[in-house]
Structure 1
Amino acid sequence: MTILVLGGRGKTASRLSLLLHNAGVPFLVGSSSTSYVGPYKMTHFDWLNEDTWTNVFLRASLDGIDPISAVYLVGGHAPELVDPGIRFINVARAQGVNRFVLLSASNIAKGTHSMGILHAHLDSLEDVQYVVLRPTWFMENLLEDPHVSWIKKEDKIYSATGDGKIPFISADDIARVAFSVLTEWKSQRAQEYFVLGPELLSYDQVADILTTVLGRKITHVSLAEADLARLLRDDVGLPPDFAAMLASMETDVKHGTEVRNSHDVKKVTGSLPCSFLDFAEQEKARWMRH
């Protein structure tokens, strides 16, 4: 069995690739990058270029590895990627793939939009087995701009979440769940896992943890949705529509949409997910002032 890992250099796919490599599991990385340099077998994959889809399976054949029988399916949440996602699933089925692991999100139910539509499509196919992973917000988001710059330069976290809480999850734990599912496949027809962290935290609580870890006061600045959208647009430079979408998602959190509990990480992997405190201790150098 060879596993195709899409989203090659993304947060979860890169970590999954390392786990598969270390375990000696045959896999092939599909990446939109044409300049990939690394220890893994890689092939170019572009959601908007169907020629690259069939080339993935040709590459596996030319490399003399076992045929691809499972796919870690990572796409964007943009509406324009839904139809290509459905078509790729059908192409993969025609090539003999009968197992899919779809990375979706905690707030995207089956059949609603983006990855939820792919979820529904997989569910409609009686000849495939699939697992859908529904993680919540990544801890690693705080290691990227604009958050990392706000924390390092201003000692602040800006959000429109108010006192809404999120069960933040590490990308390492998402990758561990994906690895376990792909390498220890149970004979289920369909399965859905909520991949959540061990605790519900508001950004006030996140700021308190960072204060303790970093040894300087970090403050959460609570903004109205419109003000956050303006900040993301004017100061950070995000496109207006994208800034508005992110601000709207944070307002949803304010209203409790991410207040969830799940033991699925422990159920699948046998160990608890990382706490935000442990994550912050591991990554504190990223927020330190130099």
Structure 2
Amino acid sequence: MAGETILVTGATGNIGRVVVEELLAAGFSVRAAGRTPESVTRIFGNRVESVGLDFTDQSTWASTFDGVHRMFLMRPPHLGKPKTQMIPALEYARDHGVTHMVFLSLQGAEKNKAVPHAAIEAWLRGSGVTWTYVRASFFHQNLTTTHLTDIRDRDRILVPAGRGATAFVDGVDVGAVAAAALLDPGKHGNAALTVTGSEALTYDQVAGILTAELGRPITYSRPGIFRYLRHSRKVLGMPWGMALVTAAIYTTARMGLAGGLTDTVHHVLGREPVSFAEFARRERDKWIPNLQS
């Protein structure tokens, strides 16, 4: 019922922010968890209850999980070993009253046991809580965050996806679907919702869209896994865990397994998903070097 407090983990991220805003608009109170309460308050002010959560630090669990029954769960990218780094916290949450968890998972996680999302999905299935997997395809926003500097400063996309097509999706759409699952557990409980956009694009096509939008040539390099890992570590500064997970995701695309499309956005939200061209137009300033902050 409206007025109930719902927990959103990863509240300061691209998806978490959308989930928070959707829940607030629906009239619910939100307990928003980030690395520190201050990081959450900087974004949302006093509109939410701000808490700091570290899945690996039990001293943060009570203030985060106690007193809530529904939660949005996002795996922090640097936590690559969920069985030891996350599941103990989730067991605490379940044992202290959380009955429905909406988990931001990954398209194809049920077939790709190399990604940590698969272990969390497996735990949820046997946990006794009501669960919803929001299996997102590749986020548009990865090109304005993880790969921002490659595009903005080096005019290139460097990922080991080969010529495979990827079903991109906008974070706004994913967050809205996750919020819908939180708001109606009866409709979306114990269900896997694969959320994609309406088109699967190769990275050559993505580079072409960016070239047209930015008015300068953006190229797509097709590195092998080892070159990508070296680049992600030394140039992009990724932790090893994140570098390996992203390499696995791009390998799925390279193998032709990442292009599947769904109509989940239309079915759940009643509208069409945001296209990559629309996203590029909306976010174009982020890729312009002289506008960087």
Query: Into which bin does the TM-score normalised by the smaller protein fall?
Result: 0.7 to 0.9
CA distance in structure 1 between the aligned counterparts of 2:228 and 2:65, rounded to whole angstroms: 44
- 1:29 aligns to 2:32 (yes or no): yes
Size of the alignment, in residue pairs? 280
Q: 2:64 aligns with which of 45, 56, 59?
A: 56
- Given that residues 181 and 188 in structure 2 are in contact (C-alpha distance below 8 angstroms), is that contact kept between their aligned partners in structure 1? no
The runs of 5 or more residues in structure 2 that have no matched partner are none
TM-score of the two chains, using structure 2 as the length reference:
0.86
- Given that residues 82 and 119 in structure 2 are in contact (C-alpha distance below 8 angstroms), is that contact kept between their aligned partners in structure 1? no
Letter paired with 1:9: T
Residue deviations 1:162-208 (CA, integer Å, cap 9, x gap):
11111111111111001111113325651001111110001100011
CA distance in structure 1 between the aligned counterparts of 2:95 and 2:158, rounded to whole angstroms: 47
Alignment of structure 1 residues 76-95 onto 2, 5 Å: 76=76, 78-95=79-96
- 1:144 aligns to 2:145 (yes or no): yes
CA distance in structure 2 between the aligned counterparts of 1:266 and 1:137, rounded to whole angstroms: 18
CA distance in structure 1 between the aligned counterparts of 2:112 and 2:210, rounded to whole angstroms: 38
Alignment of structure 1 residues 242-261 onto 2, 5 Å: 242-243=242-243, 245-261=245-261
- 1:164 aligns to 2:158 (yes or no): no
Percent of aligned pairs sharing the same letter: 27
* SS of match in other structure, 2:31: strand
Task: Provide the residue aligned with 1:13 in structure 2.
Answer: 16
Task: Provide the residue aligned with 1:42 in structure 2.
Answer: 50
Alignment of structure 1 residues 126-137 onto 2, 5 Å: 126=128, 128-137=129-138
* SS of match in other structure, 1:104: strand
CA deviation after TM superposition for structure 1 residue 235, in Å? 3.4
TM-score of the two chains, using structure 1 as the length reference:
0.87
Task: Provide the residue aligned with 1:202 in structure 2.
Answer: 202
* SS of match in other structure, 2:197: coil
CA deviation after TM superposition for structure 1 residue 243, in Å? 4.0
CA deviation after TM superposition for structure 1 residue 262, in Å? 1.0
Task: Provide the residue aligned with 1:69 in structure 2.
Answer: 69
CA distance in structure 2 between the aligned counterparts of 1:258 and 1:203, rounded to whole angstroms: 12
- Given that residues 33 and 53 in structure 2 are in contact (C-alpha distance below 8 angstroms), is that contact kept between their aligned partners in structure 1? yes
Task: Provide the residue aligned with 1:118 in structure 2.
Answer: 120
Task: Provide the residue aligned with 1:64 in structure 2.
Answer: none
Task: Provide the residue aligned with 1:62 in structure 2.
Answer: none
Higher radius of gyration, 1 or 2: 1
RMSD of aligned Cα (Å): 2.3
Task: Provide the residue aligned with 1:101 in structure 2.
Answer: 102
CA deviation after TM superposition for structure 1 residue 99, in Å? 1.1
CA distance in structure 1 between the aligned counterparts of 2:94 and 2:245, rounded to whole angstroms: 34
CA deviation after TM superposition for structure 1 residue 32, in Å? 1.8
* SS of match in other structure, 1:101: strand
Letter paired with 1:107: G
CA distance in structure 2 between the aligned counterparts of 1:282 and 1:188, rounded to whole angstroms: 30
Residue deviations 1:122-166 (CA, integer Å, cap 9, x gap):
22244x321111111111111124x22222233221222111111
The runs of 5 or more residues in structure 1 that have no matched partner are 59-66
CA distance in structure 2 between the aligned counterparts of 1:279 and 1:170, rounded to whole angstroms: 7
* SS of match in other structure, 1:198: coil
CA deviation after TM superposition for structure 1 residue 225, in Å? 2.3
* SS of match in other structure, 1:131: strand
CA deviation after TM superposition for structure 1 residue 72, in Å? 0.7
- Given that residues 226 and 247 in structure 1 are in contact (C-alpha distance below 8 angstroms), is that contact kept between their aligned partners in structure 2? no
CA deviation after TM superposition for structure 1 residue 221, in Å? 1.8
* SS of match in other structure, 2:167: coil
CA deviation after TM superposition for structure 1 residue 231, in Å? 2.6
Letter paired with 2:63: N
CA deviation after TM superposition for structure 1 residue 57, in Å? 4.4
- Given that residues 56 and 89 in structure 2 are in contact (C-alpha distance below 8 angstroms), is that contact kept between their aligned partners in structure 1? no
CA distance in structure 2 between the aligned counterparts of 1:42 and 1:197, rounded to whole angstroms: 32
